[in-house]
Every structure is written in structure tokens, then in C-alpha cells.
Amino acid sequence: MATLTQRQKEATTMPTYPEYRSLVPPLSASLHKGQGGRVCILGGSSDYTGAPYFSAMSALRLGADLCHVICDEEAATAIKSYSPDLIVHPHIKIRAANTAQDKKASNEIWARTFDEINSLLKRVHVLVVGPGLSRDKGMLQTAKHAIEVAREQDMPIVIDADGLYLIQNDPEIIKGYKKAVMTPNLVEFKRLCDVMNVDTEDEEAEQPAVQRLSEALGGVIVIQKGKSDVISDGQKVQAVDNEGGLKRSGGQGDILTGLVATSLAWGLAYEKEVWQHTHPVKQEDVAMTACFGACVINRECSRLAFEKHKRALQSSDVLAEIGPFFHLFYEKPRQKATWSEAIYG
């Protein structure tokens, strides 16, 4: 399944490096804690505790001020032990709900869970759904509720991993919500296309499959991960093709979700004029620009980590590259630099 034909590549657009850079809040004494981004990760089940950690820490390493993790109570201790920088909320109580003495008691447990999630989501800028979520019925039920609440609050949502499984089985959950971003890999993308009746094998199609999938979902931004990362909001198509690492280890997709979340949080602050700027990015282009920059950063950090570790590379190695690389990426280049100049100096 080719990502883009030559004709489709020629029709792609690209934000400039200065446009992405303009979304980044300045390090200023006039800003207070939280204005640099408050992100919430919903995921982390009894079996999967690493994924929400990678998502949350990548958000923080890029520059978010605060990151919350809502997880199953059986995952909370492990996730807390990975880093004291994370704010971990064991609000999801799968075992307690499943072993409650009767349906009424179980419903009361779920009601408390949803109330706690509702309260927390009022305090964050971006919701990430999926890292370590699992396909447990209760976890998926919680994810659906959180997405519905985030939509009501007009909040950007990033969906990956088993969050995409939820959408695959009920596309209406996210359909038409243009502040949502989905980040499918090759297999997840094909499943979503099948559900939405998008032909991924039609190489004669004028529009690439990623654009047609976005259109079918009502303008949800789709980042099709692959040899190149291809992004579409149903109107525009962008391709991110700076070199990445050649080792695929579990957790790298989770890292991208955190980078996207922080970039979207910065985009919100940009739109609200938390700091003074000259509006170089149109409001309708902010989310796509944020996603493009996040993909560039993810790919370059993967490349840098791969250069050092080769086959031994783990996602923690990619995570370690984010802070040092972004400092050079943001501080060193001329403000009118190209992407290549900003990435490679």
C-alpha cells in the first residue's frame, strides 16, 4: 500500500519552520505555570503501563508544564514509580467494578470514575486517548466517556493505539470533530479505511487514502505513520519525510502522541494570545502546523537515538533526545530558517 503516488506528492503542502516556531510559547517571567500546556493522558491498564509514561513524558520533555495520567488503579503504582514528574490519577477501577456485589454498586463505582474524570478535564488543554488503554470493556467505556466530555468542552483530542480500536468499532464517537487527531500505524490505518469504505489500493485516485479517510470522518486530522508521515484534515495533505531511525521499538508511537499533544496545547495558547505575536499562522492552519512540527521532531529524535544505539534502541533512548534536540531546534536557527536548517543546523 503506497502512501502517496508521485502525482499526490506534488499536490502536498507544507507549513514553514518559522510558522511552527511561532506556536512555541516564549520562556518568559510573565507566563505562569500551566500556560505552557496542560496535557492529560487516558490509558494505562493492568497489562500496559509503559505506553502512558512515554506519551506523558514526551509531552513534558517537549515543554508542556503539566501532564496528568488517568489510568486503571492497578497500573497507577507502576506509572508513578517511573517518574515523579507525572500526576497519576487511579480513577479507573476495573477490578472493583467487576467484583462489586451487585449492579447498583458497580454503577456507583463507574459514576464516581466519570465524575472524577469530568472534574479533571476542566483543568487541562488537550486529551490523549489510547496509550496502554487495552481492549477491556471498562477501559473502552471510560475512553468513550472522556472523548464525549472533551468534545463538549471543545478540547483537542489525540487518539492512538486501542483508542483507534474504539473508533474503528464506533466512528460516530469522533466523526465530524475537527479538533481530533488520529495517529494510526499501517495496520490501524487499513482497518479504519475498511470501516469507512476508503479504498487504500486505488493508485489512480486523485486524493490519497489519508485525505479520503479524513473526509469520511468529517475533517478529523489523520496522521498516517510510515516511511513518510502523511497528514490530512480532508482539505490539505502534508508529508513529513525527514529521516527517522530504522529500529521500531514499542513506545515510539506513544512518544508521537505526547509531542502532538504539547504542540496542540501551544497552538491553543497561540490562538488565545497568551503572549504577543503577529499571527503568522492562520487559525484554520494551527492544528495542521502543530502536527507537522511534532512529526518532524519525533522522526529526528528517533534518528539521533538510532545513531547512538542501533539495534539496541529503546523508546527511552528516543525520549532522552527530545529536550536537547528541541533546544537546538528552537534556539539555534535563524528565525527564517528552512526545516532542514532547523533540524540539521
User: Which residues make up each annotated binding site for (6S)-NADPHX?
Assistant: 132, 185-191, 254
Phi and psi for 212 in degrees, rounded to 5?
Answer: -70, -35
Please give the Cα distance from 146 to 298 (Å, whole number). 26
Cell 498516517, residue located: 224
Residue type, 164: L
Q: Which residues are annotated as a binding site?
A: 132, 185-191, 225-229, 244-254
Please give the Cα distance from 47 to 170 (Å, whole number). 24
Could you please report the per-residue DSSP string of 206-221? SS-HHHHHHHHTTS-E
DSSP H helical ranges for 29-102: 50-62, 73-82, 94-98
Please give the Cα distance from 53 to 162 (Å, whole number). 16
In contact, 37 and 59? CB cutoff 8 Å? yes
Residue 334 has a CB neighbour count (10 Å cut-off) of 10
Cell of 53: 509514561
Q: Which residues are annotated as a binding site for ATP?
A: 225-229, 244-253
Please give the Cα distance from 23 to 268 (Å, whole number). 9
Cell of 96: 472493583
Nearest to 252 by CA among 313, 293, 310: 313
In contact, 38 and 273? CB cutoff 8 Å? no
Please give the Cα distance from 191 to 260 (Å, whole number). 22
